[in-house]
């Protein structure tokens, strides 16, 4: 019997089917079976966590539950010979934080096949400043590169630009020399977006002008879309010949109102991006890139470090579309 107990954010469903979030003490014995027990040093807030924390059954079926699709920490027990006690590791995606107790607890227990050795070029804090959102942005960039989209091809559009995926995408694109057009609904954040590397800023309404047309004048070589719906459709309609549009999110809508004309007349590539079940080989490659040639030295400009007891207000802001940048949770500072 393991007597260790720890703090965790727990989401409960009450008799009236309302969801409440509380910081509770849990025992390591309550964690699911798994190969590797990890003491979590940092976690980070992603959109999926906000959904899980508010009772979205598409993400989490059973409550009480501890969300947190991201965790970085140190192995304290392992029955998997591939993993040794003391190793610093990153665990993102798979079922973590969905129906497996997640990174908003000070311990997680997971299969060894879910974890990645922290690359030498990143600290645990940096890995969570990037987190699933940044890992997803990096995958989008990988698709641009694999399809030969370079800065010479023209600007890249980023939607949901002040969000977690959007801000990391901005930093990466700017560092690699791309011109970036950022789309935002936040009039108050234009200065912030310029400082993060945007060269042009559009409001959502500006991107949606003439949305009824099947094709729009060519404006960019590619796009990183995090919101879906009409904005994604407009991005595709205004992408140039052989351009690449990545779709990773649905912050606005899961719909895609579009004809085939951007594809059959301009050869636009629409590439879907998924992170939770990203294959391990690609996962390691992306983390290594983020630790070396894509190493971001300005992550602290888009991230804030919070304590577990500040998560609730961050979750509410994210659900209301008010969040900005990335939010890292210091899991060690909790009593």
Ligand X SMILES: NC(=O)c1ccc[n+]([C@@H]2O[C@H](COP(=O)([O-])OP(=O)(O)OC[C@H]3O[C@@H](n4cnc5c(N)ncnc54)[C@H](OP(=O)(O)O)[C@@H]3O)[C@@H](O)[C@H]2O)c1
State the residues that interact with ligand X by CB under 6 A. Answer: 46-48, 132-133, 136, 160-166, 184-186, 204, 226-227, 231, 248-252, 273-276, 318, 321, 323
CB of 21 to ligand X, least distance (A): 17
CB of 80 to ligand X, least distance (A): 25
Question: What residue is closest to ligand X based on CB?
Answer: 163
Yes or no: say if 184 and 324 are a contact pair by the CB < 8 Å rule. no
CB of 327 to ligand X, least distance (A): 8
Tokens encoding 177: 């020399």
CB of 291 to ligand X, least distance (A): 19
| DSSP code of residue 104 | T
**Peptide linkage before 34 cis (omega within 30 of 0):** no
CB of 320 to ligand X, least distance (A): 9
C-alpha–C-alpha distance, residues 133 and 143, integer Å:
16
Q: Which residues contact 39 (CB under 8 A, 6 or more apart)?
A: 73, 74, 76, 106, 107
CB of 131 to ligand X, least distance (A): 8
Nearer to ligand X, 53 or 231 (CB): 231
Nearer to ligand X, 206 or 332 (CB): 206
Nearer to ligand X, 46 or 153 (CB): 46
Nearer to ligand X, 83 or 192 (CB): 192
CB of 268 to ligand X, least distance (A): 19
Tokens encoding 26: 């849990």
Q: Which residues pair with 312 in a beta bridge?
A: none
Nearer to ligand X, 140 or 331 (CB): 140
Nearer to ligand X, 78 or 323 (CB): 323
CB of 246 to ligand X, least distance (A): 9
Per-residue burial over 185-215, b = 16 or more CB atoms within 10 Å of its CB, e = otherwise: bbeebbebbeebbbeebbebeebbeeeeeee
CB of 198 to ligand X, least distance (A): 10
With both helix axes pointing from N to C terminus, report the angle between 124-146 and 164-175 in degrees, rounded to the nearest 10. Answer: 70
E strands, the chain, in order: 5-13, 19-27, 36-44, 70-78, 88-92, 107-110, 115-117, 156-158, 180-184, 200-203, 220-225, 239-247, 269-272, 303-307, 326-330
Nearer to ligand X, 93 or 154 (CB): 93
C-alpha–C-alpha distance, residues 321 and 325, integer Å:
12
Nearer to ligand X, 28 or 183 (CB): 183
Nearer to ligand X, 199 or 250 (CB): 250
C-alpha–C-alpha distance, residues 299 and 93, integer Å:
21
Q: Which residues contact 221 (CB under 8 A, 6 or more apart)?
A: 149, 153, 154, 155, 156, 239, 240, 243, 244
Return phi, psi of residue 129, to 5°. -65, -35
């Amino acid at each position: 019997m393991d007597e260790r107990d720890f703090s965790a954010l727990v989401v409960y469903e009450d008799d009236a089917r309302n969801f409440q979030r509380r910081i509770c003490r849990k025992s390591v014995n309550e964690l699911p079976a798994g190969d590797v027990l990890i003491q979590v040093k940092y976690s980070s807030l992603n959109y999926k966590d906000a959904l899980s924390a508010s009772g979205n059954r598409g993400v989490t079926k059973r409550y009480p539950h501890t969300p947190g699709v991201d965790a970085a920490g140190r192995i304290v027990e392992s029955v998997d010979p591939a993993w040794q006690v003391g190793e610093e590791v990153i665990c993102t995606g798979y079922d973590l934080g969905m129906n497996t107790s997640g990174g908003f607890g000070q311990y997680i227990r997971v299969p060894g096949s879910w974890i990645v050795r922290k690359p030498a070029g990143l600290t645990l804090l940096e890995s969570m400043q990037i987190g699933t959102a940044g890992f997803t942005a990096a995958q989008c960039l990988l698709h641009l590169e694999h399809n030969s989209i370079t800065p010479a091809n023209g600007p890249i559009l980023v939607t949901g630009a002040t969000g977690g995926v959007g801000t990391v995408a901005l930093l990466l694109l700017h560092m690699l020399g791309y011109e970036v057009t950022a789309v935002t609904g936040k009039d108050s954040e234009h200065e912030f977006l310029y400082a993060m590397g945007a060269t042009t800023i559009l409001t959502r309404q500006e991107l949606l002008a003439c949305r009824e047309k099947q094709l729009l004048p060519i404006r960019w070589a590619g796009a990183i879309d995090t919101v879906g719906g009409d904005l994604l459709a407009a991005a595709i309609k205004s992408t140039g010949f052989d351009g690449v549009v990545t779709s990773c999110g649905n912050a606005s809508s899961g719909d895609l109102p579009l004809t085939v004309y951007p594809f059959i007349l301009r050869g636009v590539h629409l590439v879907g991006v998924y992170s939770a079940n990203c294959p391990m080989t690609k996962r390691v490659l992306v983390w290594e890139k983020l630790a070396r040639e894509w190493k971001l030295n300005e992550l602290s400009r888009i991230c804030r470090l919070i304590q577990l007891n500040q998560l609730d207000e961050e979750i509410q802001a994210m659900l209301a579309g008010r969040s900005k940048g990335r939010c890292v949770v210091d899991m060690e500072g909790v009593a």
